[in-house]
Each structure stands twice: as C-alpha cells, then as structure tokens.
C-alpha cells in the first residue's frame, strides 16, 4: 500500500514503485509470536476434551463415505470398519498423527521471500475463501467473476499485511464450475508470488492443481517442497465425504499440505456448547489427519477448526459472539498438545456491509485468532455476511488490522531504547517529549500507522467530506489496483501453464457441477 493519493505519473511513480518494492522485500513473510499463547483451559480441562474425542472416535466413530480405498487403509491400520462407519480404538489416531505428521513445515512460494512457516510460533494471514458474491460501494452486491478473483489476488499480493494468496478468494461464477479451478490456480501463480491454495471440489481438480504447480516449480521440487495448501472440510457431524477424501488423497500423494477442517455451526452440526464443539472437532480432525498420514506418512497436515454460533431463532450463523472465541482458544491448545499446526479464525462477521457490526464481529474473532497463536488464518481479509460475500472495502479494512497484529505479536521492547529511562530522567516534570532526542530517533517506527483510520480533527474530517472508513477504503483498493504491476514470471512457464489450462478446458464440456 502507498500513502500518496495522486494519479499515476511516469517519473515520480517509478520512484515510488521502487520504494514500495524495496519495502515489500523488507517486510516479514509471516508473523512470529513472542508472547505465550492465551489459554482458557488448564491441562485437566484439555485432557477431558481429548478423552471425549477419543470416546467419540471409539464409540460412534466417523463415516468415510464413498471411498473404498480409504476404508481399506483405515482397516489395515487397525480401525474397526463396519460398512462406511469407522471406529478407532482410543489413542490410535493420535499415535498415527504424531508418528509422522510434521509439527512445523514450510509452504514454498515462487518468490522465496514469501515462503511461509506453518506451525510453531508463526502466524500466516490469508484472504477470504469461498464467497459466491462480491461487494463494493460502487456496485453493491453481485456474483463474483474471474475479474473480481484476479482483483483480490492482486490486492493480497500488494498488501504487506497478508502473507498468502489464499484459494477461492471468491467464486468466479462466470466460469463453468468444472473449469474454474484452472483459471483460479493460474491467477494465483500469474498475478502473485505469494503461496496459494489448491482446488478441492473434485479429485481431478486437485490433480490439475498439482500439475500446474509442477509446471511452475518443477515436478521434482514438489516431492519435498509443499507449495500447495488445500482446505479439506469435514461434512460435520462425523462424516468425511468422497470428494474431500479424494482431494486430500491427491494432495497427500504429491506430498502437498492439507487443512483438515470440521466446519461447525454449533447447534446444527454439533452441540451448542464450547466443550462439545471442541471434542467433536478434535475427533473429526483426528480422523481426517489419520487418513492423510496413512495415504502418505509425513504429508503436511493442519488441524483446522471453524466454529460459529447460530441464531436459535432463525438458525442463521452468527459471528462475533463470545462462545466461538472460547472454542478457538481451546482448539489452539489442543493442536499444540497434539503437536500439529492449527488453522482457525479470521475476520469473520455476519454483517452485510463494512459497518460497525462487521468490524466489531471481525475483531471478536481476529483478536482471539492472534492471541491463541493460530498458525494459518484463512478469511483474514474481506469476509462479509457469513462468508457469502467478499467486500473490497472490507478487505482493505481487515488488512489494516492484520498490520496491527504484526506489531502486537512482537510484544514489549525492553531494550535500553525501549525502556527510555534516560529520556524520562532527562526530561523535567511538565516538559513535553515531542522534540526530545529519544522521540525524534523513534519517530518513524514508534506507532502503527493506519492508512484507513482518520485521526484528524472533526473540522478537518468534515472538510475532507465526512467520509466513513468504508468510503476511505474504497479509494485505497482502487488506487492499489490502478498501480498494480504483476511480479515477474518466466515466459516459458507462463506459456506452459496457459497451454495446460487451454488443453484441460478443451478436454471436457462445460459443467455446472
């Protein structure tokens, strides 16, 4: 992001662009927590939930639907398989996952400055995922298109506060369902050099994603470099379906990473209580991660949790409530105990627009996301109305919050300069610090500077048009897109990718499933 507001000019704008590129390189590729994660339960409470998850896995088990290979694998590993129902002896899943799943791994980007660490003290912030609709202040709400998709890839690339290009940032509804993934993956590779996510809507689309990654990175490179991270959602309660199992298998076979995420609307797909949601989430995720480790031991997996509350009147999902925040903290602790990376949270809201509701709700999830030490954060920017829509203005507002999190996680500087004792001792009572040497030498980096917040006087704000935050964000995303320049991509790779996309598209008729 830049601070200037003028139109594109040739001379000065080159210099500014160079400065931005430089700033880009200097930025950190992911957050590294220095603070201990916040825990809302002690060891005893967490053990109870783990024990409950084990009881669920043993007594009810999970269904692995429409995938005979999966059932065979699980049976061979010691599970009790009856039809599609798979019951796991206590401790089996934990043992299999802990034996081979990495505690921390790197997802590689085509720009090495953008490699991200998944797990440990790292937090990686990725944009919104999966919305069929897009929204901006000029055109309101409408179905997403491939142009919108490209726009969000460009915005995530340009934002210093996002570490990842994400996956289905919005659904490009103008492209047939069975061909969308080709345009989406191509866009991530072509318009960004941050790491990205793969298609999961069918096993062959996952394989297409792997093929395109092989074209980009080289087939051998992929064998020991995860370059794709993909979202495998459970069909809660207690079901993994054929599509997700097939996609997970395709990525695992290629040693690519998966997020195994029970997606739970508490009260519908799980009980209404935090401890109940946590136990069921853990059981489902353990089953999914076990499957992946059996397909390819050591393939990177991330324990995912997506839990929302619901309106008990209408059944609609609700966001920003305290209950899912408690679930998030508990699940983060459980993942640490299991020693696998954790995915959850984001800037989630039910609001249709980027108003106070949206911001309050988003902060109520994003705060816990950061404090719990979530390792991979989908939906860190753009999410509106329960994920049905991604907003251009919301994206900009959220990214600003991501920037603040980067400062917060560094904690308190206790260096001599941070203590500033001499500065205080040398300054008498009643003497301000505005011009002191300490203030001047810390001027540039003292405080996070938001691009969106208006801190001017009321009179100045009024003179500037009495704009709200969304209106200011509107100007920012437009300027970013206007000034966007694609990162370099080897023309041979680009050509090969385009050829692959074109061949695959030609190989099948359009389909809306």
Q: Which stretch binds a copy of itself (CB under 8 A): 6-14, 160-168, 213-221, 394-402?
A: 394-402
Torsion of CA 403, 331, 333, 40, to 10 degrees: 90
Q: Which of residues 25-54 bind a copy of itself (CB under 8 A)?
A: 35-36, 38-41, 45, 48-49, 52
Binds a copy of itself by CB under 8 A, chosen from 364, 372, 399, 480:
364
- Count CA within 13 A, CB hemisphere, residue 434: 2
356 binds a copy of itself (CB under 8 A): yes
Contacts of 374 (CB under 8 A, 6+ apart): 123, 328, 332, 342, 343, 344, 345
Instruction: Name the residue nearer to a copy of itself (CB basis): 297 or 315.
Output: 315
Binds a copy of itself by CB under 8 A, chosen from 178, 344, 362, 375:
362
432 binds a copy of itself (CB under 8 A): yes
Run of H or E including 87: strand 85-87
x-or-dash string of contact with a copy of itself, 203-232, rule CB under 8 A: ------------------------------
The SS3 call for residue 316 is coil
Q: Could you tell me if 134 and 390 are in contact, meaning their C-beta atoms sit under 8 angstroms apart?
A: yes
- The DSSP output letter for 487 is P
Q: Which stretch binds a copy of itself (CB under 8 A): 72-80, 190-198, 199-207, 265-273?
A: 265-273
350 binds a copy of itself (CB under 8 A): yes
Instruction: Name the residue nearer to a copy of itself (CB basis): 100 or 427.
Output: 427
137 binds a copy of itself (CB under 8 A): no
Q: Which stretch binds a copy of itself (CB under 8 A): 172-180, 217-225, 288-296, 345-353?
A: 345-353
- To a copy of itself, the closest distance from the beta carbon of 37 in angstroms equals 10
Structure token digits, residue 44? 């005893």
Binds a copy of itself by CB under 8 A, chosen from 16, 24, 85, 121:
85
Tell me the CA distances in angstroms from 195 to 124, 126, 157, 315, 502, one per residue in order.
10, 9, 10, 36, 23
Task: Report the distance separating Cα 303 and Cα 325, nearest Å.
Answer: 17
408 binds a copy of itself (CB under 8 A): yes
Instruction: Name the residue nearer to a copy of itself (CB basis): 19 or 316.
Output: 316
Q: Could you tell me if 318 and 311 are in contact, meaning their C-beta atoms sit under 8 angstroms apart?
A: yes
Q: What is the rounded radius of gyration, in angstroms, for the C-alpha atoms of the chain?
A: 24
x-or-dash string of contact with a copy of itself, 169-208, rule CB under 8 A: ----------------------------------------
Instruction: Name the residue nearer to a copy of itself (CB basis): 221 or 360.
Output: 360
Q: Could you tell me if 285 and 237 are in contact, meaning their C-beta atoms sit under 8 angstroms apart?
A: no
Q: Which stretch binds a copy of itself (CB under 8 A): 17-25, 96-104, 117-125, 401-409?
A: 401-409
Q: Which of residues 433-472 bind a copy of itself (CB under 8 A)?
A: 433-434, 436, 438-439, 442-444, 446-450, 452-458, 461, 466, 468-470
Q: Which of residues 61-80 bind a copy of itself (CB under 8 A)?
A: 61-63
> In degrees, to the nearest 5, what angle opens at C-alpha 276 toward C-alphas 274 and 280?
120
Q: Which residue has the tokens 């709400």?
A: 141
431 binds a copy of itself (CB under 8 A): yes
Q: Could you tell me if 283 and 57 are in contact, meaning their C-beta atoms sit under 8 angstroms apart?
A: yes
Q: Could you tell me if 222 and 210 are in contact, meaning their C-beta atoms sit under 8 angstroms apart?
A: yes
- To a copy of itself, the closest distance from the beta carbon of 142 in angstroms equals 11
Tell me the CA distances in angstroms from 401 to 159, 161, 389, one per residue in order.
12, 8, 19
Instruction: Name the residue nearer to a copy of itself (CB basis): 27 or 438.
Output: 438
Task: Report the distance separating Cα 432 and Cα 435, nearest Å.
Answer: 8
Task: Report the distance separating Cα 53 and Cα 278, nearest Å.
Answer: 8
Q: Which of residues 88-127 bind a copy of itself (CB under 8 A)?
A: none
Contacts of 511 (CB under 8 A, 6+ apart): 176, 177, 178
81 binds a copy of itself (CB under 8 A): no
Instruction: Name the residue nearer to a copy of itself (CB basis): 137 or 493.
Output: 137
Instruction: Name the residue nearer to a copy of itself (CB basis): 55 or 502.
Output: 55
Q: Which of residues 280-339 bind a copy of itself (CB under 8 A)?
A: 280, 309-312, 314-318, 320-323, 325-326, 330
């Amino acid at each position: 992001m830049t601070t200037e507001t003028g139109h594109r000019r040739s001379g000065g704008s080159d210099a500014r662009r160079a400065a931005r590129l430089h700033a880009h390189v200097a930025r950190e590729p992911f957050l590294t927590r220095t603070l201990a994660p916040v825990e809302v339960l002690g060891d005893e409470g967490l053990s109870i939930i783990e024990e409950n998850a084990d009881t669920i896995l043993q007594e009810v088990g999970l269904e692995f639907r429409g995938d005979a290979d999966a059932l065979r694998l699980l049976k061979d590993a010691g599970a009790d398989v009856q039809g599609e129902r798979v019951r796991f002896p206590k401790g089996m899943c934990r043992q299999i996952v802990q034996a081979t799943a990495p505690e921390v791994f790197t997802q590689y980007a085509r720009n090495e400055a953008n490699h991200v660490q998944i797990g440990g003290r790292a937090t990686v912030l990725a944009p919104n995922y999966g919305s069929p609709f897009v929204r901006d202040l000029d055109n309101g709400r409408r179905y997403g298109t491939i142009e919108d998709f490209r726009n969000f890839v460009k915005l995530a690339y340009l934002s210093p506060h996002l570490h990842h290009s994400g996956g289905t940032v919005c659904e490009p509804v103008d492209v047939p369902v069975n061909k969308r993934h080709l345009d989406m993956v191509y866009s991530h590779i072509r318009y960004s050099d941050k790491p990205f996510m793969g298609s999961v809507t069918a096993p062959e689309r996952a394989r297409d994603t792997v093929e395109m990654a092989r074209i980009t990175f080289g087939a051998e490179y992929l064998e020991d470099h995860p370059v794709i991270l993909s979202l495998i959602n459970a069909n809660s309660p207690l079901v993994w379906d054929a599509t997700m199992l097939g996609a997970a298998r395709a990525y695992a076979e290629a040693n690519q990473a998966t997020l195994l995420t029970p997606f739970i609307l508490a009260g519908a797909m799980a009980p209404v209580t935090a401890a109940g949601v946590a136990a069921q989430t853990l059981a489902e995720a353990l089953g999914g991660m076990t499957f992946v480790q059996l397909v390819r031991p050591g393939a990177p997996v991330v324990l995912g949790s997506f839990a929302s509350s619901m309106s008990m009147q209408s059944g609609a999902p609700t966001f920003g409530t305290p209950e899912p925040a408690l679930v998030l903290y508990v699940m983060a602790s459980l993942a640490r105990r299991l020693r696998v990376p954790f995915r959850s949270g984001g800037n989630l809201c039910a609001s249709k627009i980027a108003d106070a509701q949206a911001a309050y709700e988003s902060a109520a999830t994003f705060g816990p996301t950061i404090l719990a030490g979530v390792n991979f954060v989908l939906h860190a920017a753009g999410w509106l109305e329960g994920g049905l829509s991604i907003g251009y203005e919301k994206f900009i507002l959220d990214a600003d919050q991501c920037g603040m999190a980067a400062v917060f996680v560094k904690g308190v500087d206790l260096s001599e300069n941070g203590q500033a004792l001499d500065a205080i001792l040398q300054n008498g009572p009643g003497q301000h610090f505005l011009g002191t040497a300490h203030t001047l030498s810390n001027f540039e980096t003292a405080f996070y500077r938001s691009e969106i917040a208006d801190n001017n006087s009321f009179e100045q704000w009024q003179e500037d048009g009495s704009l709200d935050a969304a209106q200011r964000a509107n100007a920012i995303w437009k300027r970013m897109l206007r000034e966007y320049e694609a990162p370099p991509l080897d023309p041979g790779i680009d050509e090969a990718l385009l050829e692959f996309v074109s061949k695959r598209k030609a190989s099948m008729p359009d389909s809306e499933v």
